[in-house]
Amino acid sequence: MDGLPPTLEKVIDGFSKFPGIGKKTAHRLGLHVLKTHTKEVEDFAQALLNVKSKINSCSCCHNIAEADLCEICSDQKRDKSIICICEEPSDIYLIEKTGFRGVYHVLGGLLSPLDGIGPEDLQIDSLMERVKSATELIVATDASIEGEATILYISKLLDSHPIKITRLARGLPVGGHLEYVDEATLTQSLNERVDLHSEV
């Protein structure tokens, strides 16, 4: 970009490193900083620094946390006997919107032998500890090969353990049209069809 002060260039560069932000958007955001009140920009910069210095991993579920335990693990009203297993902390906030009231366990990845990610790279040991006091385990991983591999691995580990293990249903997206659904989804949807009588 011709003629931009180097200081502003740096901010634009910074913005463009975020996912989904291209050069043009970064440019617009950078120019917006100029128009923003100094106090507001200072607060934002401080908040960015605080996130890196104050936030760590929950010692129980490996979700992001400011204290030793995350807000979910330290909430007495949550049902600790149902553990939902996620890949990343960001998945938790998607599931929270469904109204789920159990607790979580963040694996920190999915099994992927091709990428060299084995069970020892994931938070599986600590999961096995927690499983002892739980009644149901919901494996909420992506519907990908890695997600399936991870579900399979965890369910095998717990083969001899008297615990209910479930995974998210596969099927038609709510509001989706049949004609736009791919073959694999439709096949799963058919296989996992629900009895109308039992549903009510």
Q: Tell me which residues touch a second copy (CB under 8 A).
A: 1-8, 10-11, 13-14, 17-21, 25, 27-34, 36, 38, 40-55, 63-66, 70-72, 75, 89-90, 92-93, 96-97
CA-CA distance, 104 to 91, in Å (whole number)? 10
Which residue, 86 or 154, has its beta carbon nearer to a second copy? Answer: 86
Of 112 and 185, the one with the shorter C-beta distance to a second copy is 112
State the SS3 of 92-104: HHHHHCCCCCEEE
Of 64 and 143, CB closest to a second copy: 64
Decide: helix, strand or coil at residue 74: coil
Alpha-carbon gap, residue 196 to 116, rounded angstroms: 44
Q: Is 103 within 8 Å of 72 (Cβ atoms)?
A: yes
Distance CA 86, CA 28 (A): 35
Give the DSSP letter of residue 80. E
Minimum distance of a second copy from residue 117's CB (angstroms) = 16
**CB 93 → a second copy: shortest distance, Å?**
6
Q: Is 79 helix (H, G, I), strand (E, B) or coil?
A: strand
Task: List, edge to edge, every strand of the sheet that includes 136-139.
Answer: 102-106, 79-86, 136-139, 164-167
* Least Å from the CB of residue 196 to a second copy: 33
Cβ-based nearer residue to a second copy, 66 or 192: 66
Which CB atom, from 52 or from 193, has the smaller least distance to a second copy? 52
CB of 162 to a second copy, least distance (A): 30
In angstroms, give the least distance from the CB of 32 to a second copy. Answer: 6
Task: Output 44 or 186, the one with its CB closest to a second copy.
Answer: 44
CB-CB contact of 102 with 78 (8 Å): yes
Integer Cα distance of 68 and 81 in angstroms: 20
Shortest separation between residue 107's beta carbon and a second copy, angstroms? 15
